[in-house]
Chains A and B, each alone.
Chain A
Amino acid sequence: MARGDTGVQPGSTAMLVLAVLKDQELYGYRIIEELAARSQNVFQLKEGTLYPLLHAMEKEKLLKGREAPAPNGRTRRYYRITRAGLRVLEEKEAAWHTYAGAVTAVLAGT
């Protein structure tokens, strides 16, 4: 199995996280907010479960995290997507579109 394949299935939470981080660097809390906002609250992640996912993706080098002081004085860990992450996102997005298109076509035929 090639690096980056684990866990990131088309339509999985990992893919959604990659998508959210595509153009911005965010910390965990904001990633959840962003996911909820973009999906009109369809995707509401259980807060704590996000972190094992983020850390696994960082281990796979799809994300890169760094600790930095936030404006409120707290230290936060910000995540940004890596080049490998972008590549995986593109592949999974394409696979997702194929899959979704196929499902839609099947449904339309009923």
Chain B
Amino acid sequence: MRMFAQVWVEEATRKIRFKPDRAAVARELLGHIQDLQEKYKGQGLSPYDAEMQATEDMGDPAAIADELGRLHRPYWGWLWRLSQWTLGILLAWAVITGIGYVRNLLEYPAAEAELPQLPEAVESNGAWTRRLLEHWDMEGSVDLGGYRFTAPLAYLQEITYEGPEDYTPLQYQLTVCLRASTWRFWEPISAAQYMVLSHDAADSAGTRYGRWEPGLFSEETHRHYFCNTYGDGPLAVWYAIELDIKDGEMPDWVDIPIGYGAESLRVNFKEGVVEP
């Protein structure tokens, strides 16, 4: 049967159901035809005639297809393939779960630690009352000194005191929930407050916020801020930064100092993002 080599091979292998086997047998048969072609070309035949003669020599592809189809039953091939798929899926599952597990372990080592949550609309203990006025879900992150900072939540509360003592509390308090994380396990983050309290914070209205130490700052130019750390683990620390917003006038943004240097990040409430 005179035909092109490729056609002959396809015809002869078409009953092999398992694709990898079919490809391998096709390679083998095509190699044989090419060897025959070389022989005939060496004898002076044109490339076309050599190819035709070669496929003629190979015999009837339909008969060979029947034989090969009978020999290469697909069951074991598919079973093998199936076992590979199963193994692949199991491995992928193990890796994904493993990564999730390790990440959880590293990022939230103290599972019971209190993580930042939006407070209730009104929280009161009889004397102190804190009312939630506004909150912001902040997006974005800033990379500083090998650490990544995000501030997913910020909220403004009004605070009143009606207790027995003659005491005027802060009236408005802005809380920024700041999170620092790193993958550099050999350089874990310090949970100490000075990480974010080394120098003054400032806002868009030009107000400066200093660490609260009585008598150190004048009330006119400085307001105080405070920082709580919690949920701290080796690779992630949460800070709750509390800023005194004296008149309840929210600034557009606040620059929060990071570390001992002049680095800071800007929490932009108007845009809802954390930016450098």
Residues of A within 8 A of B (CB): 27-29, 46-49, 51-52, 55-56, 59, 67, 74-77
Contact = CB atoms under 8 A, between A and B. Distances in A.
Chain A interface mostly helix, strand, loop or mixed?
A: helix
Contacts of A28: 28, 31-32
A48 B28 CA distance: 11
A67 B30 CA distance: 14
B88 interface: no
Contacts of A77: 24, 27-28, 31
Given A29-B35, A74-B34, A75-B31, A48 B25 contact: no
Contact of B24 (A47, A67, A74): A67
Contact of A51 (B29, B35, B36): B29
User: Which range holds the interface residue count of chain B?
Assistant: 20 to 34
Among A48, A56, A59, chain B packs the most CB atoms within 10 A around the CB of A48
B68 interface: yes
A29 B29 CA distance: 9
A32 to B, nearest CB: 9
B72 A55 contact: yes
A48 B60 contact: yes
B59 to A, nearest CB: 4
Contact of B28 (A46, A49, A51, A59): A51
Contacts of B35: 29
Interface in B45-76: 57-61, 63-64, 67-68, 71-72
A56 B25 CA distance: 13
Nearest to A75: B27
A33 to B, nearest CB: 9
B31 A52 contact: no
B241 interface: no
Contact of B59 (A46, A74, A75): A46
